[in-house]
Structure 1
Amino acid sequence: MDQTKRPLLIPPEFANYAEKNGVFDMYKKLLEQLIINKPEDPIAFLIEQLKRENDDVPQVIILGPPASGKRSIAKLVCAKTRAAHLTMENLVAEAEVDVKEQAEQFISRKQAVPDRLWLRIIQSRMKLFDCVKKGWVLEGFPQTRDQAQVLQENGIYPKHCIILEAPDTVFIERAAGKRFDRVTGDVYHTTFDWPTSSIVQARLEEVVGNTEEEIVNRLVNYHRYIDGIRRCFSTVFKTINADQPKADVFSQAYTFLCSQPRTNAPHTPRIILLGPTGSGKGVQAALLASKYNIVKVSCGQLIKQAIVDEKKSGLAAKNYIEKHFPIPDNIVMSILKERLSQLDCVTRGWVLHGYPRTRDQGEQLQRAGFTPNRIFFLDVPNDSVLERLTLRRTDPVTGDRFHLLYNPPLSLEVKERLEQHPTDNEDEVRRRLAMYHLEVEELGDLYVDGQHVNADQDPHTVFECLESVIVNPLPKRF
């Protein structure tokens, strides 16, 4: 890049490539694995790590008091994500023979299995193909802070930890009606979740250890340790109210699992605001640019500026404007490309509104290397748009803008001299709305990660919705 040229034009390809392929996060994960595993041959180890097809798999711990629904939620999560379901029972049953015998000896004597033995069992299980390839959901473990720390010390740390909680009286009531199907391993309840099959009903058994006294003792033990466990997983845990229908608990749990932690990777915002005329794109772009010091890019303003500066592309666009013809996409793209390649846009990021209006324009933008990392569709009903635009007026003397409903002039003199802009008449607004709705479906197909925001509310409320999506990673798709 020649630094003597002004303005400096920086191609966007490198930043797009690094962000798309998670280069920064890849380095971070490789260093973490080196520190955790301490291999004798670091190079061979790193090569083996890079050969893995997918390292972004679920790694979930689900905890909660007895009868909180851990088993049901874990099964639903595994069915949705195809991850391996790990319980304390099947971990022991599937362990290597010598380790299994040691664990069963402790269990038969009703003694606690040592933490280091649990570690051996869990480590060997998580090295198997299904856990590596599809991820894992660990149910009901760890049960103490010491167990959580042992896992952490050996590099086993979940991406998400779900803790199910409710009043103790709820769990005592649930435990009394809990029934177990020994054939399938499913858990039912006499009141809340009774099976429809008479065959299944006939083979259900009461769960051992579910008397009221035993449940109370287990609840006391749970509350003794849960705060310490919560501190161990303070950055990845979420508490969910278990005293609600199972479908609602799972919905909240799955939404949490789809969330991703914030990354330390450099992030340059590249935002596109789409929406019908009058949806507030310009207002939201100005708010975002002001708060986050990113460049506000208005396609319409760029074209006007290019005409004023008598640039070649501007003069070409002027001919079409004077004849009331639409400006060809290649002319608009040349004006836009020049602006988005400048140093401030590349280093600080940009928020673009007024473009693209069609799928072809969006594809041209991507081919030029300007791939957005946040896309918002500002949804506003047609009636609200008509109310916003057709009642706008301008004072030709002062240049002040008013709205006959929301911001009327204070004096009759000013009201009488107000004028309506030609583009704000009802027929013209309806025409622009029709054009937008004709193209928005294809734009939605192009920008599948686009977030729809209800823009028919206070501008600052809309801004908070946009901001929450910009500062947090986009939800993951399983």
Structure 2
Amino acid sequence: MDPDNGDLYNLLHNPPADLAVERRLVKLTENDEELIKKLYSEYNRQMVLLKRIYSSVAYEFNADQPINDLYHSVLAKVNQSRRSVALQTPKVVLLGYPGAGKHTQAHLLAKKYGLIPVDCGQLILREVANRSSVGNIMKTYVQKNIPDAIVSEVVRNRLNKIDCITYGWILVGYPRTRQQAELLSSHKVYPTRVILMDIHQSCASERLSGRRIDPITGICFHTAFESMEDVCISQRALQRLNDEEDAISPKLSRFTANRDDIIVYYDSCVVKVHADRDIHTVFEEIETAIVNPLPRFNFVK
């Protein structure tokens, strides 16, 4: 220390420019070697605990370097934006052949993560049953395809409700064409994941043709995969009209015709999973795809 003005210097890293100043410097009493050892020991003891407490936000720098270099190293780290590790609210579209298991997986995701399952077909039926203004319009198309613009509006309105915004959503049954995907984008609806549940067309056909429903209880089962212990239910179970052989082939063909266009449109947020395995294995693969860091989106316009 300079006793004349109190300025502090370090003879190694920050020596005074004037030799006369250097000659009159005095050693500080707190720089006594024994005291320094004691302070250093206390510092090391406390730092063990502090490093644990601040482990998620702490950074270490090599202080054995010129002070200007150290300053710039610290400044660069302070100015660096931290990557968020928070999970973005999931907005998931499940794509796949009819019979791929989309509704089953949507139910499992909703149960584990609290996501809101949104079934396009059920939305339409609900609007018609509630006799809403858009429902009355859709009712006139019972035997025909409802215009994409109307369906897109109904889907958009549902996804913009507070539960979907808060908890995230899983959309099933829409979009089915690139045009429908473009309409969703025009409504500012962008999925964070598009899961393609990939199975062979013959596997999808087998799953659909074996589905049965009890008209009284509403219980659904598959003749090949589930044994119905209740004989009464087994005897009165019916096959849905849209699961009959004549109806299956056109449904599968429509998905095949539009699949590639939708995949190209959504590009980098598409993840393919093998849906021809057991339910829980498929779920784990979908779960991994949703939880992993999300990519930058590159929607094709």
TM-score (norm 2): 0.69
Q: Which amino acid aligns with 1:291?
A: K
1:472 is matched with: 292
Aligned partners of 1:427 and 1:262: how far apart in 2? 53
Residue in structure 1 matched with residue 125 of structure 2 by the alignment = 304
Deviations, residues 393-433 of structure 1 (Å, cap 9, x unaligned):
22334432221111132365543333211111122111100
Are the counterparts in 2 of residues 36 and 155 from structure 1 also a CA contact under 8 Å? no
Residue 380 (structure 1) aligned with residue 199 (structure 2): yes
Deviations 1:186-227 (A, max 9, x none): xxxxxxxxxxxxxxxxxxxxxxxxxxxxxxxxxxxxxxxxxx
Hey, what's the Cα distance between the residues in 2 that align with 1:362 and 1:379? Answer: 19
Distance of 1:347 and 1:412 partners within structure 2: 44
> For residue 253 of structure 2, what is the aligned residue in structure 1?
434
8 Å CA contact 1:313–1:334 kept in 2: the answer is: no
Q: 1:456 aligns with which of 276, 281, 284?
A: 276
> Does the 8 Å contact 1:320/1:326 carry over to 2?
yes
Letter in 1 for 2:128: I
Equivalent pair of 1:379/1:456 in contact (CA under 8 Å) = yes
Residue 228 of structure 2 is matched in structure 1 by 409
2:242 is matched with 423
1:165-190 deviations in Å (ceiling 9; x for gaps): xxxxxxxxxxxxxxxxxxxxxxxxxx
Give the corresponding residue for 1:345. Answer: 164
Q: Residue 447 of structure 1: SS of its match in structure 2?
A: helix
Tell me the distance in 2 between the aligned counterparts of 1:381 and 1:423. Answer: 19
Q: Kindly state the Cα deviation for residue 475 of structure 1 after the two structures are TM-superposed.
A: 5.4
Q: Is the 8 A contact 1:396 1:417 kept in 2?
A: yes
Structure 1 residue identity aligned to 2:278: D
Which amino acid is the alignment partner of residue 272 of structure 2?
Answer: H
Question: Cα deviations across residues 257-305 of structure 1 (Å, max 9, x unaligned)?
Answer: xxxx972357221111111101111111111122211211111111011
Deviation at 1:350, TM superposition (A): 1.2
Q: Which of 135, 142, 145 pairs up with 1:314?
A: 135
1:448 match: secondary structure: helix
What TM-score comes out, normalization by structure 1 length? 0.45
Q: Which of the numbers 362, 365, 371 marks the counterpart of 2:190?
A: 371
Q: Percent identity?
A: 37
Distance in 2 separating the partners of 1:396 and 1:476: 46
Gaps of 5+ in 1: 1-31, 38-114, 125-151, 157-260
Is 2:94 the partner of 1:290? no
RMSD of Structure 2 on Structure 1 (CA): 3.3
Listed one character per residue, the Cα deviations across residues 116-172 of structure 1 (whole Å, up to 9, x for unaligned) are 89x78xx99xxxxxxxxxxxxxxxxxxxxxxxxxxx97867xxxxxxxxxxxxxxxx
Q: Mind listing any 5+ residue stretches in structure 2 that lack a counterpart?
A: 1-56
More relative contact order, 1 or 2 (CA 8 Å, 6+ apart)? 2
Aligned residues: 235
8 Å CA contact retained: 1:36, 1:154:
no
